Amino acid sequence: MADLKTIEVPIQGMDCAECTQHVQRAISKLDGVQSVNVLLATEKAVIRLDPAKVDLPAIRKAVASAGEYSVPEIASPPRSSSIQNFNRQLMIVLALVFGVVLSIVIAGEWLGLFEYLDALVPFPIGVLIVLAGGLPVYRNVIRAALRRQIISHTLMTVGVIAALVVGQWVTAAIVVIFMRVGEYVEQFTTESARRAVKELTSIAPQTARVEREGAEVEVPVSEVRVGEAVIVRPGEKIPVDGEVIGGHATVDQSAITGEAMPVEVANGSHVFAATIAKLGSLRVKTLRVGADTTFGRVIRMVEEAEAHRADVQRLADQFSGYYLPVVAAIAALTFLLSRNPLSTAAVLVVACSCSFALATPVAMLASIGGSAKRGLLIKGGKYLETLARADMVLVDKTGTLTLGQPQITDVVPLNGMSASEILSLAASAERYSEHPLAEAVRAAARAQNASLYEPQDFESMPGMGVRAKINGNIVAVGSRRLIAAAESLPTVQELEAQGKTLLFLSRDDQLAGILAAADTLRPEVPTSLAELRALGITHIELLTGDNERTASALAEKLGVSYRANLLPENKIEIVKEYQAKGHIVVMIGDGVNDAPALAQANVGIAMGAAGTDIAIEAAHIALMREDWSLVPQVIRIARRTMGIVKMNLAFTALYNLIGLSLAAFGFLPPVLAAAAQSLPDLGILSNSARLLRQR
């Protein structure tokens, strides 16, 4: 099998969803291209290909053949805020010009000024004006026709031709003016949706100050090597993911977590690229650079979110493909019944499929981009659509509902062991475990100054515990599944009735002691669960590997159902069970042991995913900070987004239906039809832009 690789190619000239379809079709036809996703938001194509069969020149040629599109030699850098401000001012001017021209058109139509202009300018000169003004549009239409494709401007071009055929060059010229104005409106519509993503991308640090050969050297971030020490001064952005090995600072992590409150970091703390050292200096050991950092993965996920299209977006795209032939048929029928070429031209001009194609992606891009700045990473529109229909939430316990920082509250020695010996053996066996309970055991051992030994033959058993050889003895620490002999002890029942999680320790297969741990419920959980119920999600179920009594105590406190004694594979089966019953299942976990269930759920939400590879990869939505209030918030965002998408589609359908009807019956002349076809894009823009201002 050929060695395939994935490349990213910048694309210039794309203004609407229809453009991405043209470019995607052109690239996908190349021999050696396995898959291609053309992303409007970031103006690029992500292509998986066989490099032995297809190269960049071939891709560049295919893109150029699709229309007025190109692959630049060097990718354009993100635009600065000053340029964006200039664009906003330019579009305000264009809107004013549009209003003035529209007013002149209406007045001219009523006062007969166009007839006077038509008589004043010779017809051949008028034709030249029409041809020169619409040349870029005509080129795209001709190229599309050569590929046997109909695009939105095809109908308007036919309308221009129809106006010229009946000798009304002024009407044709005004149609061309509004075609060009409409193009600027579409560009502004798309650029507005892109802006949130571009602003997110633009905050990435470009250089880093590293220690090399005893001196500080400033280098591009791409040249920083893992393991190097990076120096960060007050007010500077941290350029890498790493561990603090010197200094102390207050760090603004809002770029990653969306949380406005800064955090204190010192030796041993982990910091993330694109965060800002507000007060104090830091010396950071580099762990990840560039695209491998948490911020880099965030950017990649937001950029590629467009590839995961919602079902409603796919339907809109399919509808656009059928819409243009239907409009052509309506125009033909109008001509057959009325024999009025102007009414026929008006029908062709007023119909513009770009509004249908834009109705969904603009709202999705606005929602995904706006949410990313708040620390809510959504992998694609289809997950927003699914989340809006969710009716069930399954929740992991440790690290999700609870803080994941349990403390050892009781040590019960058995069979002649002392409490100190139990802590010593347990902490030694758990020395290299990453489970929150393992850290609780190690912390308790440190507090008691218990001796630690180097474990040999360490073995981790997910959902059960750990096993290792300590001083020649086989020591196991874990749940009752690991050590079944603990079932009938009165102490066990008493501790579990208090809602505590128990760890059982055995030495050479003999039960030697019990450790009890208690975790703290996140303070915002009860309020957030109440908000979920208010949103209509009445079935909330706790899934935990803890025993029946511990799970029951927490579930009763929260007013939810529960299932206990679960292994990771059991959680997957529960998700499948509810999906088989027709439920839209949301799984919320911490992204480690819950990764399989997160991936299996209709929508998997990872809590506190900052810096966690598996959380971002497995989940469909990642909450970059450990805050349960974000859960009902993201569901509200999903529902609001889908409401706006449906509103966009309904508005577009109704607007076009009215426009086609007025044009077909002769109430909308071609001049006004040209003006009218540009208005839906403005409506979609203003409606979708509300998603950028969500509170």
**CATH architecture, domain defined by 5-65:** 2-Layer Sandwich (3.30)
Residues with Cβ within 8 Å of residue 215, at least 6 apart in sequence: none
> SS3 for 97?
helix
Mean pLDDT is lowest, of 206-220, 417-431, 580-594, 637-651, for 580-594
pLDDT in tens, 24-40: 888 988 998 998 888 77
Just give the CATH number of 407-518: 3.40.1110.10
Element holding 337 (H helix, E strand): helix 311-338
Just give the CATH number of 225-288: 2.70.150.10
Q: Grade residue 631 by pLDDT with cuts at 50, 70 and 90.
A: very high
**CATH architecture, domain defined by 376-402+521-635:** 3-Layer(aba) Sandwich (3.40)
Distance of CA 651 to the CA centre of its chain: 26
Element holding 411 (H helix, E strand): strand 407-413
Q: Catalytic site residue 396?
A: yes
Q: What is the DSSP string of 557-582?
A: HHT-EEE-S--HHHHHHHHHHHHHTT
- At 105 the pLDDT is 57
Question: What is the DSSP code (8-state) at residue 453?
Answer: -
Which of 401, 660, 439 has its CA nearest to residue 426?
439
Length reported for the chain: 695
- Burial class of 87 by CB neighbour count within 10 A (0 to 12, 13 to 18, 19+): middle
Specify whether the CB–CB gap between 650 and 630 falls below 8 A.
no
- Tally DSSP H helices, then E strands, for the chain: 26, 25
| 33 φ, ψ (degrees, to nearest 5) | -90, 115
> SS3 for 236?
coil
Average of pLDDT values for 121-125?
Answer: 86
**What is the C-alpha to C-alpha distance for residues 169 and 174, in angstroms, rounded to an integer?**
9
**What is the C-alpha to C-alpha distance for residues 290 and 296, in angstroms, rounded to an integer?**
6
Q: Which of 396, 519, 627, 681 is the catalytic position? A: 396
pLDDT in tens, 265-296: 888 888 988 888 888 889 999 999 987 888 88
For β-strands 585-589 and 603-606, DSSP reports them as parallel
User: Which tokens is 93 given?
Assistant: 């001017």
Burial 465-479 (b: 16+ CB within 10 A, else e): bbbbbbeeeebbbbb
Which of 182, 117, 186, 601 has its CA nearest to residue 391?
601
Q: Grade residue 252 by pLDDT with cuts at 50, 70 and 90.
A: confident
- At 83 the pLDDT is 36
Task: Tell me, letter by letter, the H, E, C secondary structure of 12-58.
Answer: ECCCCHHHHHHHHHHHHCCCCEEEEEEECCCCEEEEEECCCCCCHHH
Q: Grade residue 412 by pLDDT with cuts at 50, 70 and 90.
A: very high
Q: Grade residue 91 by pLDDT with cuts at 50, 70 and 90.
A: very low
Average of pLDDT values for 8-16?
Answer: 80
Which of 656, 624, 635 has its CA nearest to residue 256?
624
Residue 371 has pLDDT above 50, yes or no: yes
Tell me which residue has tokens 């905050």.
203
Specify whether the CB–CB gap between 276 and 237 falls below 8 A.
yes
Specify whether the CB–CB gap between 172 and 342 falls below 8 A.
no
Q: Grade residue 387 by pLDDT with cuts at 50, 70 and 90.
A: very high
pLDDT in tens, 196-213: 556 666 777 889 999 988
116 or 284, which is more confident? Answer: 284
**What is the C-alpha to C-alpha distance for residues 633 and 334, in angstroms, rounded to an integer?**
50
Question: How many other CB atoms are there within 10 angstroms of residue 569's CB atom?
Answer: 11
Give strand pairing partners of 588. 395, 605
Domain residue extents for the chain: 5-65, 82-199+303-364+640-693, 225-288, 376-402+521-635, 407-518
Query: What is this structure's pTM?
Result: 0.69
140 or 654, which is more confident? Answer: 654
**What is the C-alpha to C-alpha distance for residues 544 and 401, in angstroms, rounded to an integer?**
10
Specify whether the CB–CB gap between 432 and 439 falls below 8 A.
no
| 547 φ, ψ (degrees, to nearest 5) | -75, 170
